[in-house]
Amino acid sequence: MAMFPRRDADKVQLATDLVAGMRANPELFRGCPVTADQLEESAARLSAAATRKTEAKASAVGATAEKRKEQKQRDIRMKQVIRHVENVVQGDAGKLQTVGWGARRPRGRRVGSVPPGQVTVLEVAGEGRDWVALRWKAPANGGLVAAYRVERKQGDGDWTYLAASTQCEVTLLNQPLGIAFLYQIVAINDAGEGTPSNVVRVVL
Q: What is the pLDDT of residues 18-58, one digit of tens each?
A: 888 888 888 887 788 888 888 888 877 777 666 666 555 55
Nearest CA to 192 out of 97, 91, 115 is that of 115
- The distance between the two most distant Cα atoms of the chain, rounded to a whole number of Å, is 68
**Contacts of residue 7, Cβ cutoff 8 Å, sequence gap at least 6:** none
Nearest CA to 136 out of 120, 152, 117 is that of 120
Q: Radius of gyration (Cα) for the chain, nearest Å?
A: 19
Give residue 110's pLDDT band: very low, low, confident or very high (50, 70, 90). very low
pLDDT of 145 reads: 87
DSSP conformational letter for 177: S
- Residue 134 or 55, more confident: 134
- 86 pLDDT more than 50: yes
DSSP conformational letter for 196: -
The percent of residues above 70 in pLDDT, for the chain, comes to 79
Residue 26: what are its φ and ψ, rounded to 5°? -60, -25
Whether residue 7 contacts residue 35, with contact meaning beta carbons closer than 8 Å, is answered with no
Residue 20: what are its φ and ψ, rounded to 5°? -65, -40
Whether residue 194 contacts residue 115, with contact meaning beta carbons closer than 8 Å, is answered with yes
Nearest CA to 132 out of 155, 156, 163, 161 is that of 163
CA–CA distance, 131 with 173 (Å, rounded to integer): 5
Q: Which of 75-79, 94-98, 175-179, 188-192 has the highest mean pLDDT?
A: 175-179
